[in-house]
Structure 1
Amino acid sequence: MTNEFKQIARIKVLGVGGAGNNAIRRMFEENVQGVEFYIINTDAQILESSPVPNKIILGEKTTKGLGAGGNPEVGKAAAIESEEEIKKVVEGADLIFIAAGMGGGTGTGAAPVIAKIAQESGALVIGIVTKPFIFEGRHRNVNAKEGLEELRKYVDSVIVVSNDKLLEYIGSIPIAESFKEADTILKQGVQTITDLIAVPATINLDFADVKTVMYKKGNALFGIGVASGKDKAVEAAKEAISSKLLEASIEGAKDIIVNITGGRTVSLNDAYDAVGVISQAVNNKELNVVFGMAINDDLTDDDEIIVTVIATGFDNKNLQNHEPNIVKPNKSETQPEHMKKAETEKTEENDEFDDEMILTTTEDTEEDFNDDDFPTFLK
């Protein structure tokens, strides 16, 4: 079976502001399937330089196509001015992603307005946003916090990528490459969900499955794991729920989607193992599990397996930042030692989570920014 596109639901991905436009350009150039791409900006020059065909200029009277100047209020006013154009863009969509960078003018100010219009259209709305690097300054980080709080009012879930946490994960690379990595994470967040819906599967997941897990479910966690060789399903599942970018445990989730993609060697036993590892980590007897499975002939390693998990329905006050309990599901009374339940490492408890889908900790999203958070030269 080939990884052939099949339209199941109408999905639109809107990139708002410079960071959002860059992420959409990456998705467009890498041929992410099953979606319609739109780039939206107050800066006409940025729009003109992009190969993405669907372009919306916001607030021609407000900004005259010259951008928002880093002011979220200008970005908001421009989006309000262009409300009718935005309504035409979101019309008819079942699922709408809004990709933006928080902290600047257009993404921070316009994204919540666009999300509100998308929500009113009846679509499932998912935000995918980045938070700025600490070195970008206090003003930009405070803008990001306030913009994210406003965005949360109008989306069903938010994937938040902290650029600082991403930098810790990818190590020391040139700054231009760092921003490209953030674009890649945004792309992966969109593509994982759209592939669940748009790519034909051996065990199918459809839009209704995704909506059941994500619609108005509050906090969510999202992760991807890749492995090959012996115990590949177990190892990929462990990676999906223990990524360095995922600083919160999935323990306590009420709903999960697990999508398993592999080469020709992938088996139902692999699916059993992966779902078992994740279910054990969730540790909730009332857990609702939705899973899909697909064979992808395009994988370079026929023995490779990719496990994707989306977990929702958390108790806001009880999420903790610690390693999950990881164990292969019991198939007999005895197990090899390396499959036995690992001891959980306790770490500090997180602050209450926002209604977000999180790729990194949201601790600093909830707290006010203090002067101690910033180097002296940025205060």
Structure 2
Amino acid sequence: MEPLNVRVPEPLLDEIDKKEEARGFGSRSEFVRELLRDGIDAEPRLDHNQIQAEATEGEETLPLEEVRDRVEVDRMSLEARETFDSNDAVGRMIVGGNSLGEVSTLVESDLGTLLDEDDDADILVAGCGGGGVRIASEVYQRNDDTGQTAIIDTDITHLNANAADTRAVLAKDKFDGQGADGDVETVRKAVDNSRPVIRQMIGDADLVFVVAGLGGGTGTAVAPELAKMAQESGAVTVSLATLPFRTDDSKVIRARNGLERLDAVSDTLAVLDADRVSADPAVSMSEALCRINNNIAHLISSICLDIGQFYTTEKAESLLEKLSNGNRSVLLDSTIDTALGETYDELSDRLLQYTNVDIESRRADQALLTFTAGPEVDSPSGRIDSIISSISDSARELVWSSRVVIQPGTVEKTEIRVTGFLTGFDIELDDFFDRESVPCEETASSRTESEIDILPGTGSSSSDSTKTVAD
């Protein structure tokens, strides 16, 4: 600490001494330091009347510093309540600040147990930045009660438009809750300053899904740091990242840098490309984004619901063990309407692939899939077995779960939905960026089935003509 020489009139000095003693400060210097802090802050940091009122708890006299800490936490918690819209599920607030009392991170959370002790795994779905927040919020709104959801953003308005078990506004002191506007470095520093708070949000999860849209400031910076903390805590970390539309080169560069960091700290990584979906002229940009969000949310919810119900054709490992070495992966999603007589082989050319990775004529090490059948699917087990047999030809090992949905909404009454990962391809990070954005539907519809050799389970063709169209 540096000395500060200040001359004051004698009457004022007498008044300082009286106030210092009345308010319980240990010395004149301590009192003056507190006055200086209050003068610098826009609002008084501490309510000294409240300190005096709370200094005695029953017959026990509390240390002055402990009382001050309590008052300061109460003040910042009040700020957190005023920041977030009301959420009935929330029990309490936690706050991360710095030594000067500036609020850097506000967290609204119930901070309860993730899952019951009898469940197979504790699961956290963490949405980072705009795109990730929307997806994690959709998982939360499905009301599956399968784990905890957390959303982190620098934009308070966006956080309040979405819901989760835990909501955190990051770097409020830097961005005033208005969003990071591509400032990755400042957000990264804020994450580092708020590491204990974010670590508390992760808790003791066994499986953490990190979901983020790359290219902006918040998701690009937060997702790799959160994934790293999840791995350090011992959790299996599955990251799902979306790439930005190719209308802004600066966003693409940020996304590429963020993906490198995320890849290094993810056990399984799937990358989805917004341009891949929006290339279909029949699909609007907003519809494309909704489709991506819905499919990721469905995949995560299905895995969470069935975490202990996966079946394997070979090694008797748990799903967590499978996901712990999934590496770079391809996300798949398709719907088959059994009422129209569709089979998986006939539908594989329409299987949605939200990646530019060329996986033609390659075999996956693993196919990690969920099958969701509507309530009016005839003989769902037999139909799913037939699909599994078809997919097995394109994967060295198949891990799957299946369920029949009684309530419509997830799938239509006569539909079977197939969602999951193909893992183990020799994929380079550049592969996610280099290829043209050609939708699978357009590629397939431009030729008849007799002209192409469909690789079951991938939606890709092993013929040269397909590669010419896609490239």
- TM category, shorter: 0.7 to 0.9
After TM superposition, give the deviation of residue 11 of structure 1 in Å.
1.1
Unaligned runs of 5+ in 1: 328-341, 351-360, 364-379
Aligned equivalents of 1:274, 1:246: Cα separation in 2: 22
Q: Which residue of 1 aligns with 2:463?
A: 345
Q: Which residue of 1 aligns with 2:319?
A: 210
For the 8 Å contact 1:259–1:309, the answer to whether it is kept is yes
- AA at the equivalent of 1:28: Y
Q: Which residue of 2 aligns with 1:142?
A: 253
For the 8 Å contact 2:210–2:240, the answer to whether it is kept is yes
Q: Which of 133, 142, 146 is the equivalent residue of 1:21?
A: 133
Find out whether 1:31 has 2:149 as its counterpart.
no
Q: Which residue of 2 aligns with 1:224?
A: 333
Q: Which runs of 4+ in 1 moved over 6 A?
A: none
> How far does the alpha carbon of each residue in 1:104-146 deviate from its partner, in whole angstroms, 9 at most, with x for none?
11111121111111110111111122111112x1111111111
Q: Which residue of 1 aligns with 2:87?
A: none
Aligned equivalents of 2:295, 2:400: Cα separation in 1: 23
User: Against the structure 1 CA distance between its residues 99 and 290, is the aligned structure 2 distance closer, same or farther, given a 3 Å change threshold?
Assistant: closer
Q: Which residue of 2 aligns with 1:161?
A: 272
For the 8 Å contact 1:159–1:189, the answer to whether it is kept is no
User: Against the structure 1 CA distance between its residues 172 and 289, is the aligned structure 2 distance closer, same or farther, given a 3 Å change threshold?
Assistant: closer
Q: Which residue of 1 aligns with 2:301?
A: 191
For the 8 Å contact 2:331–2:354, the answer to whether it is kept is no
Give the secondary-structure state (helix, strand or coil) at the position aligned to 1:281: coil
User: Against the structure 1 CA distance between its residues 34 and 314, is the aligned structure 2 distance closer, same or farther, given a 3 Å change threshold?
Assistant: same
For the 8 Å contact 2:333–2:419, the answer to whether it is kept is yes
After TM superposition, give the deviation of residue 93 of structure 1 in Å.
0.5
Q: Which residue of 2 aligns with 1:272?
A: 385
After TM superposition, give the deviation of residue 289 of structure 1 in Å.
2.5
After TM superposition, give the deviation of residue 177 of structure 1 in Å.
3.9
- AA at the equivalent of 2:371: I
User: Against the structure 1 CA distance between its residues 302 and 236, is the aligned structure 2 distance closer, same or farther, given a 3 Å change threshold?
Assistant: farther
After TM superposition, give the deviation of residue 308 of structure 1 in Å.
3.1
Aligned length: 323
For the 8 Å contact 2:312–2:399, the answer to whether it is kept is no
Write out aligned runs for 1:170-319 (5 A).
171-173=282-284, 175-197=285-307, 209-227=318-336, 228-229=338-339, 232-235=342-345, 238=348, 242-245=351-354, 248-249=358-359, 251-262=362-373, 263=375, 265-282=378-395, 287-299=396-408, 301-316=412-427
Aligned equivalents of 2:354, 2:262: Cα separation in 1: 22
Give the secondary-structure state (helix, strand or coil) at the position aligned to 1:238: helix
Q: CA RMSD in A?
A: 3.6
Aligned equivalents of 2:264, 2:290: Cα separation in 1: 28
For the 8 Å contact 1:60–1:78, the answer to whether it is kept is no
For the 8 Å contact 1:252–1:315, the answer to whether it is kept is no
For the 8 Å contact 1:75–1:106, the answer to whether it is kept is yes
For the 8 Å contact 1:220–1:310, the answer to whether it is kept is yes
Q: Which of 39, 47, 55 is the equivalent residue of 2:167?
A: 55
User: Against the structure 1 CA distance between its residues 326 and 49, is the aligned structure 2 distance closer, same or farther, given a 3 Å change threshold?
Assistant: closer
For the 8 Å contact 1:232–1:304, the answer to whether it is kept is no
- AA at the equivalent of 2:258: G
- AA at the equivalent of 1:155: S
After TM superposition, give the deviation of residue 316 of structure 1 in Å.
4.3
Give the secondary-structure state (helix, strand or coil) at the position aligned to 2:159: helix
For the 8 Å contact 1:260–1:292, the answer to whether it is kept is yes
Q: Which residue of 1 aligns with 2:238?
A: 126
For the 8 Å contact 1:266–1:295, the answer to whether it is kept is no
User: Against the structure 1 CA distance between its residues 117 and 347, is the aligned structure 2 distance closer, same or farther, given a 3 Å change threshold?
Assistant: farther
Q: Which residue of 2 aligns with 1:354?
A: none
User: Against the structure 1 CA distance between its residues 316 and 105, is the aligned structure 2 distance closer, same or farther, given a 3 Å change threshold?
Assistant: closer
Aligned equivalents of 1:344, 1:176: Cα separation in 2: 32
How high is the TM-score relative to the length of structure 1?
Answer: 0.73
Structure showing greater relative contact order (alpha-carbon pairs closer than 8 Å, 6 or more residues apart): 1
